[in-house]
Structures are given as structure tokens and as C-alpha cells.
Amino acid sequence: MNQEQQFDALLEQIQDLLNSRRYLELRDLFSEQNPADIALLLEELPVEKLPLVFRILPKEDAAEVFAYFESDAQEQLIKAFSDRELKEVLDELYIDDTVDLIEEMPANVVRRILAVAPQDMRSSINQILQYPDDSAGSIMTTEFIHLQRDMTVEDAFMRIRRTGVDKETIYTCYVTESDRKLIGIVTVKTLLLSESDALIEEIMEDNVISVTTHEDQESTAQLFNKYDFLALPVVDTENRLVGIITVDDAIDVLQDEATEDIEKMAGISPTDKPYLKTSTWKIYLTRIPWLTILMLTATISGYIISAYESALISSGMVMLTSFVPMLMNTAGNSGSQSSVTVTRGISIGEIEFSDLLSVIWKEFRVSLLCGITLAIVSFLKMLFLDRVELLIALAISLTLIVAVLFAKVIGCSLPMLAKKIHLDPAVMASPFITTIVDALTLIVYFNIASSILGI
């Protein structure tokens, strides 16, 4: 059985047990599953069964399963919860998951959540909520292990044992001064490999890499990729420790940002909901703006063709228009290759604005190689396969070289310039560049054709 079949078999078993009210067996079945899988299974059940099934779950898994639910299932559940049940789940949720929840829920549900949350949780939530979306502060958690410099390793383990159960990670501990300034980190690995009477300040790492609360979440997540961190401290402008980001949240950001880049490159406004859970109308709204803009700008190409139309008819060269799709596609593809490469390079931190000239120089040479190859291939094809006239084949081959050159140089520079003026490079990629490149290609084509063929 593959994974999908296993999933379906399990789902059927759950439905059978549920219909025959064999709840104890159902609980046993759940206790063998990972909370992430339980969440996926429960989301397939009819929504009115959800509260019942949720109450059957082993207590220690329930909050974790809840955190994995999509927001519509979470909303259904909260509405069915008693205040006591809601409080139980909130107590077990990590602060960052609670904040995610609050950001997705309608106002009346948020009010209920805040009403049952204890005071310290409310203030943590409010603190995180104040940071802008897409900032490091918005994805951090405030639950981490604090140590002081004059503690011993033994003290540290005592603190971890006493407070660790509720922390999102215990493997990196944070050493702060009394004014909450971050002065070092120490990992549990270091603690385990040190003598029990060693002082924290002797064994801690004091060159700490941290981010400030307003740092962009994408560049923050890239730090996990660069340094192989499990967690990263978040400080305010006075270097006071306010939270930490764990690697699982960094992975989510990296994945979401890659998806967003891909969507923008294809002219889609990004959403954070999975495709199959997004309504037709919402998908329509993410796609229609760029489609309309690009359709309207593409008519520029039409105007250029119209401008040459009478010249083409009177010189008997209407057949020149039949090469337009090939020329436009090839130039568009060449431009996309460059813009997409450069945009991804910017996203993963490989390319910076200071590389602009070396990128243009590289794309210039690549475009000459590509343009000449394409020109030769199409020249031979037109001459020997399509039996096109020599001069026409020449005009088209020359156009290819110039158009590919333009396309690649524009394709690589626009995303970098966009980044420099704080626009999104991904939006500049593919579709937008195609429109510019299309128009340029046509102008080049008709000019070269007129001078060679004298139309």
C-alpha cells in the first residue's frame, strides 16, 4: 500500500469506529498516530463530528493536533468548545501557534480566546501581535529557557527540568543580564559535555548571532539555512532578548516564500491557503489583476504590428507576420530564464545589488552564445526545410541575436533594480518582462526587416 491508500484505509477505519461508537478503540488508534497525521485525517471527517472526535483524542496530543488544523476547522472547534476546554487547549499551545490562531480567527472568536487566556499569555500575545507581518517578531515565540551567567551547569539542568516542559525548545538556552540584555547562548549538548560545577559564563558562546524584531522574516529564515541553527534569538533595538525563532517556523517561512516567489513569477497574487482549500472566487481574484494588466499591455505589440501593416501589405511581405510568434516566444523565454535565475538568486541571498555589473556582463556573454546558436539553427531550418528566401532568413536570424541580447540584459537587470528601490523582484520576473521584451522584439524585427528587405 502506498501512503495515499494507507491514509484512505485509516480514514475508513476511523469512520467505522465512530459510527459504531467504539470510542476507546478509536482513542487507541489515535495514540499510535503522529498529531500531524491525525489533523489531516480529522479534517476529512464531516465538520459536525469534529468536536466529538477531538474530545476522544489523548489529552497530550489534543493541543498539538489542534495546532496542525487549518483555520476553518479550528474555528468550528472553538465554537463548539466550552470555556474550560478552550482554556485547556490554549494552555498547551505554544505562544507562536496561539498568535497564528488569533490572526486567522474572526473578531468574536478572538475575543473569546483573549477572555479565557491568563494575563501573562495575553501580554505575550499582544507583544507578538504588534510586530508587522513578515517580520522576525511576528514568527517568534516567547517561551524559551533563560539562564544567568553565574549559574552552574547543575543549576541550568535544574532550571531546564523545572521549566522545560512548556518551552518550544530546550536545546538552546539563552544567557541574559538582569536588564534582559542577551550576552550568550549555551546548548544542551555543551551542558551535557561540561562538568556539573562549571559556570555558564565559562562555557557559553558569547558571539551570538541574533536578529531584531523588525528584521524581514525571509532574510531571518535564510540565516537558519546559512548557519544550520536550531533556534535564533530575537532582540529589540537595545539588544534585550524578547523571543526566539525555532527551525520549524523558519522552514515554514522558507517554503512559503519560495511558493510566493513562484506565484509572483507566474503573475499570481500570493495566498497563504492551500490550493484545494481556496475557493474558486478567491483563486479568480489572485489571478485576474495580472492577467488583465498583461492583456492590456500586450496590445502594445498589436499596435506595433498595425503600424507596419500597410507597408507589409503593399510590399507583399505579409508572410513576415507568421514569424512573429516564434520571435516573441524565443525572446520571452530568454528573458524569463535570466529574470527567474536572478530573482531566485536574490531570494536565497546569492546575488546582491553590488553584483549588478558582473551579472549584466555574464548575461551579455550568455545571450550572445544563445542568440548566435538560435540564429544558426533557425537560419538553416528556414533555408533548407522551410525554403524561405535568403534575405528573409537573414533578417529573422539577425533579429533573434539582437532580441535575445535585449531580453537577457533586461531580464537580469530589472529584478535587481526592483530590489534596489525596495520593490519585489519576483513581480518583475517573467510576465512583466515578457511584455517589454515582446514590444522591443517587434520593433527590432520590423526595423531589421525594413532595412534588409527594403519595405
Q: Restricting to residues 58-97, which ones interact with a copy of itself according to CB under 8 A?
A: none
| d(C-alpha 450, C-alpha 69), whole Å | 63
Distances (CA, A) of 93 to 10, 78, 266, 368, 431: 26, 14, 37, 57, 42
Joined grid coordinates for residue 402: 539582437
| By CB under 8 A, residue 318 contacts a copy of itself | yes
3-state DSSP assignment of residue 171: coil
Interacting residue with a copy of itself among 137, 184, 243, 431 (CB under 8 A)? 431
Interacting residue with a copy of itself among 138, 217, 220, 378 (CB under 8 A)? 378
Residue closer to a copy of itself (CB basis): 107 or 357:
357
Contact 235, 242 (CB under 8 A): yes
As measured in angstroms, the least distance from the Cβ of 82 to a copy of itself is 29
Interacting residue with a copy of itself among 326, 391, 417, 423 (CB under 8 A)? 326
As measured in angstroms, the least distance from the Cβ of 80 to a copy of itself is 26
CA atoms within 13 A on the CB side of 194: 21
Interacting residue with a copy of itself among 10, 110, 114, 230 (CB under 8 A)? 230
Residue closer to a copy of itself (CB basis): 127 or 271:
271
Interacting residue with a copy of itself among 134, 290, 383, 452 (CB under 8 A)? 290
Per CB under 8 A, contacts with a copy of itself among 169-228 are 170-171, 188-189, 192-193, 207, 209, 224-228
| By CB under 8 A, residue 406 contacts a copy of itself | no
| Of 77-85, 101-109, 112-120, 432-440: span binding a copy of itself (CB under 8 A) | 432-440
| Of 10-18, 79-87, 134-142, 290-298: span binding a copy of itself (CB under 8 A) | 290-298
Joined grid coordinates for residue 130: 504588534
| Of 17-25, 125-133, 232-240, 365-373: span binding a copy of itself (CB under 8 A) | 365-373
Residue closer to a copy of itself (CB basis): 66 or 81:
66
| d(C-alpha 271, C-alpha 309), whole Å | 43
DSSP H helices, 141-279, are: 153-163, 188-193, 200-203, 217-227, 247-265
| By CB under 8 A, residue 305 contacts a copy of itself | yes
Distances (CA, A) of 30 to 26, 27, 81, 187, 209: 6, 5, 20, 34, 41
| d(C-alpha 427, C-alpha 42), whole Å | 37
Q: What is the gyration radius of the CA atoms in the chain, in angstroms?
A: 30
| By CB under 8 A, residue 254 contacts a copy of itself | yes
| d(C-alpha 10, C-alpha 4), whole Å | 10
Q: How many residues does the chain have?
A: 455
- What is the size of the binding site for a copy of itself (CB under 8 A)? 110
Per CB under 8 A, contacts with a copy of itself among 5-64 are 32-34, 36
| By CB under 8 A, residue 348 contacts a copy of itself | yes
As measured in angstroms, the least distance from the Cβ of 132 to a copy of itself is 19
| d(C-alpha 389, C-alpha 150), whole Å | 87
Residue closer to a copy of itself (CB basis): 253 or 448:
253
Contact 106, 79 (CB under 8 A): no
Contact 449, 320 (CB under 8 A): yes
As measured in angstroms, the least distance from the Cβ of 142 to a copy of itself is 18
Interacting residue with a copy of itself among 78, 116, 261, 425 (CB under 8 A)? 261
Residue closer to a copy of itself (CB basis): 15 or 286:
286
The dihedral of CA 401, 404, 409, 410: what is its sign?
A: positive
| d(C-alpha 264, C-alpha 281), whole Å | 19
As measured in angstroms, the least distance from the Cβ of 338 to a copy of itself is 9
| By CB under 8 A, residue 283 contacts a copy of itself | yes
| By CB under 8 A, residue 237 contacts a copy of itself | no
| By CB under 8 A, residue 138 contacts a copy of itself | no
| Of 72-80, 99-107, 135-143, 340-348: span binding a copy of itself (CB under 8 A) | 340-348
Interacting residue with a copy of itself among 59, 84, 275, 387 (CB under 8 A)? 275
Per CB under 8 A, contacts with a copy of itself among 101-120 are none
DSSP 255-322: HHHHHHHHHHHTT----SS-GGGS-HHHHHHHHHHHHHHHHHHHHHHHHHHHHHHHHHHHTT-GGGGG
Joined grid coordinates for residue 152: 552552574
